[in-house]
Structure formats: C-alpha cells, structure tokens
Amino acid sequence: MLHRIWTMKIFAASLVAVAGYLLYALGIDVFLHDETLYEALKGFPYQLSRSLGDLCVMAWQYKFVTLIALAIATAVVFVRRVPDIRNL
C-alpha cells in the first residue's frame, strides 16, 4: 500500500513538472521569441525532447554532482519516512 502511494506521488510530481515546463517553454516562445501560440505549441515536442537530452548529457558530464544530488534526494525521502526524525 505504501509503495503505491509513493509511486503515485512520484508520478503526480512528474506530471506537474512537465506541465510547469510546458507553461514555461510556451511563455518563453511567445513573449521572448515573438512566436504565436500555435507556433509555440507546434514546436514544443521537439523542444521538450531536446531539453531532456541536454539534461541527460549534463547529468552524464557531471556524474559526481548528479550522484550527490541523487543521494541527498534519497536521504530526504527516507528521513521523511521515519516518524521520530520527521517530527523534530
């Protein structure tokens, strides 16, 4: 049961992150690049895949920093699950 709750939280956070990126990218295209909303929506899938590719390349180039960030995020998740530490 707890595994399902964490999976749903991670899935919901991923959806919120993609939706936030969508709004951010559309806003940048419309206001800074002087595109129409239709042009911005048409180019969004390519822009999203390019940004995710750039993120993967940066994570590979900065392996040590990526591992530290992953360790910190994992520690935060596990500490939040321990009631005595969470209630401090």
Task: Write the pLDDT tens digit of every residue in 4-61.
Answer: 776 777 778 878 887 887 788 778 877 887 778 788 778 777 877 887 788 788 888 9
Pairwise CA distance, residues 70 & 88, whole Å:
24
Q: Are the C-beta atoms of residues 26 and 40 closer than 8 Å to each other?
A: yes
Check residues 75 and 33 and name the one with the higher pLDDT.
Answer: 75
Q: Can you give the pLDDT at residue 1?
A: 58
What pTM, to 2 d.p., does this model score? 0.50
87 falls in which pLDDT band (50, 70, 90)?
A: low
- Listed by start position, the domains of the chain span 2-86
